[in-house]
Every structure is written in C-alpha cells, then in structure tokens.
C-alpha cells in the first residue's frame, strides 16, 4: 500500500470530509486521516425506535452550496425540511416560555419593554461604526440597550456558541450582523433588506439524521484511514505526517481539527503560532438527548425550542424540540437539552436538568430513552482578538503554502460555514 499522496487531510469531521471530497474531485490522490473509529466528528446520529437521536448537532441551515452538495451526493430524497412550527421560538422569561415573533416584537410582544421597542425602531438612524476589538455585548449596547442584550441576544448567542456576549468579538461571532451594519448603515436596515431579498435559509436534516451527510461524503472518498496523527513536518518542501501506525508523504496538507489539536501538531514547527491558536477557548457543555412517550408529557410547546437567558437562573441553556421540528412519529417526543456544566458538577447538573425540564413540560412519566453527553470542549469561542488571529493565520499560511488550516474555529461554527469553504464542492 503506497504511503504517498498528493494531499493529506487530517480530521474527518464535516470540514475535513468536504475538503477531501473537493480535492479528490479535482483529480488529486487524497488521504483522509481520522483518529476516531468513525467519521463525522461532532455530527453523530443514532436510529432509535422513535426515529433519530442526534448526539451532536440537530439541524442545519441550507446554504446554496450545501444544496448543490446534497444533490451531488444523491441525498435529495433523504432530505427532510423543518415543519412550519420551527419558525416559532420561545425565550424563558419570568418563570415561563414567552414566544418571540419578529412580526410582533415591536407591538404585542412581552419579551422586551417599551424603551427597548423604541431602541429597535430608532437603531436605523444611528451611523455605522467599526470599532476594533469590540465585544458583542458592547456592540448591542451601542446600537440598542441592555434589555435587548439580556432578553434577546444573549439567549440566541448561547444557543449558537454556548458562550458569553461579553467575551465574543462582534465582527467575528456575528459576522452577518456586522456586515449588515457596515453595508446598510444599520442592522435594522440590513435585516429588512435581507428579508426582502428572500435570503432566509431553510432548516433541514436527513431521514436518518445529519450523519447521513458525513457518511455519504466518507463513502465517496477513496482513502480514509482511522489513525491518529502524531506529528507533521516539512522536509524539502514536502509534507511528512506520522500517525500512530505509519508515516505518510504528500505535497500538501489540510489540518481540519479543533484549534487545540492543531496547536499540538504545529507546536514543534512553530511554537509561537501554536500558542496563539491554543488560546481559542472551548467551554464545556452537557447535552441530554431524551425521548418520552407522547402521553408522558402534559404540556406541548410546538416550536423549534426554548432558549434560557442567564437571568432565568436555570442550568438549562436551551431545549430543542426535535419531534416538533422534524417529527413523524406521533407516539414519541424527542428533545435535545443543553446545559452549562464542568467535569466537577456533571451529576448535579444532570439532576437539575431533569427537574427543570420536568417543570417546563409537566412530565408525568419516566423517559423511554435518556442519554447524557458531556462535551468537554464543545464549541470554539470567537472571542475578542479572533479576527486578529485569523489574519495572523492567513499570513502564516502564505508563508507555509503546503499547509492549510481549517475547521469550525476558522470558518464559522454552523455546519453550513464549515462547508462554505474556498474550493469546496461543485
């Protein structure tokens, strides 16, 4: 078996799989190396009696490139689209879930008070600013106010990053919002323009879960090996990769691994860049994948789910109503619940999660399936300084043209962002 390739991709998550697939399509001999015994990375679906249990992400927003990729992979007939009800989202405020409806936010809504409604209406008259190192919290306070930050932005941000708007960098973590402010002069004007142009993205998954996408990509690849990469080097402008099993050689290399894993591999080559990359923070997260018989749940809240702002004082950060979004089996109700936890308090948080969930949905019986998943390093934080780090990495890649550095911490955390990379697909 030859150990020489045109290109090696390290990491078999969605970022690495799409990269390897795209290079192979361009005619290159590509090897994908994955340290686990399966591809998909955090995307991990399981078929159960009641349908699908997602052990990682639950859904994705359909981008044009993703649509083409799905067609190319022959997955169109497996694609499932979110039910209409998924357009509804709730925020847990003053002890109960309150509906957020963009159409009634200004008039009927109880999520924000009159002062905030005036701020929403007047934001369009404020001029755009690009403040270096501005946090998301500061940007929201600059354009709106504290209440909009705590009741609307913070819970939504927690749903994406499981992080804090005080630490996240405005222009990196909410790129779309930042661009709207720069291009349209205000976020409100940009938001209205995007609605007019019909650029709203559909929420989708697959009959057998999101892993169908990563499995289909893996099946297209000619060379996938389940080996952990231990070191990389660049002798004579070639790439040498050493795994726990053997050595490989190639002309080019893509690292599509989490930041802390990339830092470890780059350390012997460039300690300074490794140290900078290693500063990307990954908070831990507890997930509860739980299925009840429909009769065990007294209260039904048809919607995408419920977000919990920190002022709710709950350990739960978000509940995703998987059955309401994609469900086909009326006998079961499947949910994914996320909570903040760390290695020391997992058991206590698990108990609190069960109690809080029970009180929101008025649960009367035990679940038929209950899986707790602890993600020690869950989602990379695009904290203040992230855009600067990305510029430094762009320059580093120019100086080391054999190596490309990818992964959700480079491109954006949504699955669509990981696919929307240069050269990927179609």
Structure tokens that stand for 320 in this block: 């995703």
Binding residue for ligand FAD, selected from 30, 82, 413, 425, defined by CB under 6 A: 413
Nearest Cα to Cα of residue 245 among 225, 218, 267: 225
CB closer to ligand FAD out of 25 and 35: 35
Contact flags string 343-382 toward ligand FAD, x per CB under 6 A: --------------------------------x--xx---
Query: Minimal CA–CA distance to 69: which of 59, 78, 58, 56?
Result: 78
d(CA 348, CA 296): 24
CA 230, distance to chain mean position in Å, is: 27
**DSSP bridge pairs for 242:** 231, 247
Half-sphere exposure of 206 (CA within 13 A, CB side): 25
Contact call for residue 261 and ligand FAD (CB under 6 A) = yes
**By the rule CB under 6 A, 232 interacts with ligand FAD:** no
At its nearest, how many Å lie between ligand FAD and the CB of residue 14? 5
Cα(218)–Cα(211) distance, integer angstroms: 10
Instruction: Supply 253's token pair.
Output: 């290399």
Interface with ligand FAD, residue 16, by CB under 6 A: yes
Between 228 and 426, name the residue whose CB sits nearer to ligand FAD.
Answer: 228
Out of 163, 407, 419, 421, the residue judged to bind ligand FAD by CB under 6 A:
407
Nearer to ligand FAD, 187 or 248 (CB): 248
- Angle between helical axes of 175-184 and 187-196 (0-180°, round to 10): 100
Q: Which of 13, 165, 209, 252 binds ligand FAD (CB under 6 A)?
A: 13
256 binds ligand FAD (CB under 6 A): yes
- Least distance between ligand FAD and beta carbon 255 (Å): 9
Residue 265: strand pairing partners: none
Interface with ligand FAD, residue 10, by CB under 6 A: yes
Alpha carbons 111 and 235: distance in angstroms, whole number = 59
Radius of gyration of the chain (CA): 22
Residue with smaller CB distance to ligand FAD, 184 or 201: 201
Q: Is 250 in the site for ligand FAD (CB under 6 A)?
A: no
In the complex, which residues of this chain contact ligand FAD (CB under 6 A)?
Answer: 10-16, 33-36, 41-43, 56-60, 228-229, 256-258, 261, 285, 287, 375, 378-379, 407-408, 413-415, 418
């Amino acid at each position: 078996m030859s150990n020489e390739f045109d290109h090696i991709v390290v990491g078999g998550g969605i970022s690495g799989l799409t990269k390897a697939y795209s290079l192979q399509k361009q005619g290159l001999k590509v090897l994908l190396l994955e340290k686990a015994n399966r591809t998909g990375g955090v995307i991990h679906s399981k078929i159960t009696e009641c349908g699908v249990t997602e052990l990682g992400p639950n859904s994705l927003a359909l981008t044009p490139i993703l649509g083409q990729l799905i067609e190319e992979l022959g997955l169109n007939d497996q694609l499932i689209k979110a039910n209409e009800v998924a357009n509804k989202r709730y925020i847990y405020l003053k002890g109960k879930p309150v509906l957020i409806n963009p159409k009634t936010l200004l008039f009927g809504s109880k999520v924000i008070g009159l002062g905030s409604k005036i701020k929403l209406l007047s934001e369009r008259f404020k001029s755009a600013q690009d403040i270096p190192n501005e946090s998301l919290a500061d940007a929201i306070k600059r354009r709106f106010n504290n209440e909009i930050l705590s009741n609307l932005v913070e819970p939504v941000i927690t749903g994406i990053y499981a992080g804090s708007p005080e630490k996240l960098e405005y222009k990196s973590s909410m790129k779309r919002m930042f661009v709207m402010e720069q291009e349209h002069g205000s976020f409100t004007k940009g938001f209205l323009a995007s609605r007019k142009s019909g650029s709203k993205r559909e929420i989708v998954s697959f009959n057998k879960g999101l892993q169908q996408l990563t499995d289909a990509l893996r099946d297209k690849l000619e060379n996938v090996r389940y080996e952990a990469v231990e070191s990389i080097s660049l002798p004579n402008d070639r790439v040498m990769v050493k795994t726990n099993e053997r050595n490989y050689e190639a002309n080019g290399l893509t690292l599509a691994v989490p930041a802390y894993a990339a830092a470890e591999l780059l350390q012997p080559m460039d300690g300074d860049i490794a140290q900078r990359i290693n500063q990307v923070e990954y908070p831990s997260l507890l997930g509860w994948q739980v299925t009840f018989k429909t009769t065990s749940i007294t209260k039904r809240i048809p919607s995408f789910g419920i977000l919990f702002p920190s002022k709710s004082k709950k350990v739960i950060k978000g509940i995703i109503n998987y059955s309401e979004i994609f469900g086909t089996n009326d006998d079961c109700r499947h949910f994914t619940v996320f909570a903040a936890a760390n290695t020391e308090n997992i058991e206590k948080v698990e108990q609190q999660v069960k109690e809080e969930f029970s009180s929101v949905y008025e649960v009367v019986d035990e679940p038929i399936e209950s899986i707790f998943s602890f993600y020690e390093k869950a989602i990379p934080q695009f904290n203040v300084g992230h855009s600067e780090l990305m510029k430094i990495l762009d320059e580093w890649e120019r100086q080391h043209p054999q190596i490309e550095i990818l992964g959700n911490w480079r491109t954006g955390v949504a699955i669509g962002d990981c696919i929307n990379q240069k050269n990927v697909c179609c």
